[in-house]
Structure 1
């Protein structure tokens, strides 16, 4: 569809003044894609190289919410992944659809760490994928790489370890909210049934489990490893004092 040259001229003027594509499109009553193309052509004509704006803390040195990042790091190591390829860059956190509070928490935490990227939710069978779109998530999570996490080394960089050390409970909460749970076990003694709460963290990666157990030890939580068959995938927290400590800082999923 051809547009009046005066409309295009007005759009370019508004764009050069810093008005967003959406606002220009709404103001002039034309498709947003058309405005985007005019912006691209104007930049090309002027020889301007476009660098997308970013609020990435690693690239800009911007201060960020470290407690929120520690929680998001736990979510990422448990149930997250990053897609980073041509014209497709995003961080995804997968949440059980029944835990609506965790879905909201994942989105809120992404915004606290990097407010600028667009966020969306995609509902799948039994789960919700929360996605934040920017290639800078690879800066924040340098553990990203080809293959599954349990098939490659997972080692925190120095600045990440400093964040975890400063906010250990936020990190543990992220791990439990992704690959952990709080359950009620029971046993029978002398003919009487006894029930007791217990926390589990289950992950195939030796490195991620070690990050979990090292942090649990630092905050005074006693843990054991329960093998599933011959695989020690389960970290168990069952001692009364340690469960009480976990309840005070983590609690059940919601």
Structure 2
């Protein structure tokens, strides 16, 4: 179902003398749908605040009703998510989740259903992963980082209404980023003690993302939480963020933990 602004835009183009074919090509809306709007006002009459539950599309835009879940989902989206135009109508949000982490998949589905204005989410099986997918006209409203091309090839910044949500729920944001593009591993090293080589193991968190902006959002949030981090380069590029100090790992364990 198309929202009111989309319908009005299409009908305004037709009112300017444009053909149904040209308007359909520009907007991606079928000619049959546009023709029905010209002859039937009922869809427009039905649509309104009740049919348009997006918190950002109201006369006075609001933040999502569950900001903690939104902060988590924002982290998932910035890591392994994308928003694209749907095949016929609206937009589709997809978040890729590895099959190895069924608990993460369940949590992702729950978060998408909570934030999606239609309260729907589907699991689409692919090779080695599940794409959690959901359709809505309002994903660009809820994730204004949406845009053409890959995220690391364009500017990624939080909107003024998003920053307070992340500031209030920083651990949920960090958890979403780790669940998408991060991991908790057991690292090891060797030391010579009294002439004997001994192996030591210790936990470590990694976050890997090629977008400078997304890594900066991650590290800025870690700074506010008092988590110590370092850059680890890959082929000379600082794609990896490492958290290895004992106190910082303990904080991450308390609020994030390994994938499951």
Distance 1:88 1:110 in 2: 16
Q: CA RMSD, aligned part only? A: 2.0
Distance 1:47 1:165 in 2: 44
More displaced, 104-113 or 219-228? 104-113
After the TM superposition, which residues 141-220 of structure 1 pair with which residues of structure 2 at under 5 Å, given as runs?
141-190=143-192, 191-220=197-226
- Whether the 8 Å contact between 1:226 and 1:234 is mirrored in structure 2 is yes
Specify the alignment match of 1:47 in structure 2.
41
User: Which stretches in structure 2 are left out of the alignment for 5+ residues?
Assistant: 1-33
- Whether the 8 Å contact between 2:116 and 2:136 is mirrored in structure 1 is no
Distance 2:35 2:258 in 1: 53
The 1:189–1:92 alpha-carbon spacing in structure 2 relative to 1, beyond 3 Å, is: same
Residue 92 (str. 1) matches residue 94 (str. 2): yes
Q: Deviations over 1:14-66 (max 9, x none)?
A: xxxxxxxxxxxxxxxxxxxxxxxxxx999876532434823211113465100
- Whether the 8 Å contact between 1:80 and 1:93 is mirrored in structure 2 is yes
Distance 1:44 1:117 in 2: 30
- Whether the 8 Å contact between 1:117 and 1:133 is mirrored in structure 2 is no
- Whether the 8 Å contact between 1:84 and 1:135 is mirrored in structure 2 is no
- Whether the 8 Å contact between 2:80 and 2:181 is mirrored in structure 1 is yes
Specify the alignment match of 2:74 in structure 1.
73
- Whether the 8 Å contact between 2:234 and 2:240 is mirrored in structure 1 is yes
User: Which stretches in structure 1 are left out of the alignment for 5+ residues?
Assistant: 1-39
What's the secondary structure of 1:118's corresponding residue?
coil
TM-score by structure 2 length? 0.78
Aligned positions, number: 215
Question: Deviation at 1:84?
Answer: 2.1
Distance 2:91 2:114 in 1: 19
Question: Deviation at 1:118?
Answer: 3.0
Distance 2:112 2:149 in 1: 23
Residue 240 (str. 1) matches residue 242 (str. 2): no
Distance 1:45 1:152 in 2: 42
Distance 1:66 1:94 in 2: 22
The 1:54–1:107 alpha-carbon spacing in structure 2 relative to 1, beyond 3 Å, is: farther
- Whether the 8 Å contact between 1:55 and 1:114 is mirrored in structure 2 is no
Q: Deviations over 1:148-188 (max 9, x none)?
A: 00000001101101100000000000000000000000011
Structure number, greater radius of gyration? 1
Specify the alignment match of 1:5 in structure 2.
none
Distance 1:168 1:157 in 2: 15
After the TM superposition, which residues 105-120 of structure 1 pair with which residues of structure 2 at under 5 Å, given as runs?
105-120=107-122
TM-score by structure 1 length? 0.80
Distance 1:97 1:120 in 2: 15
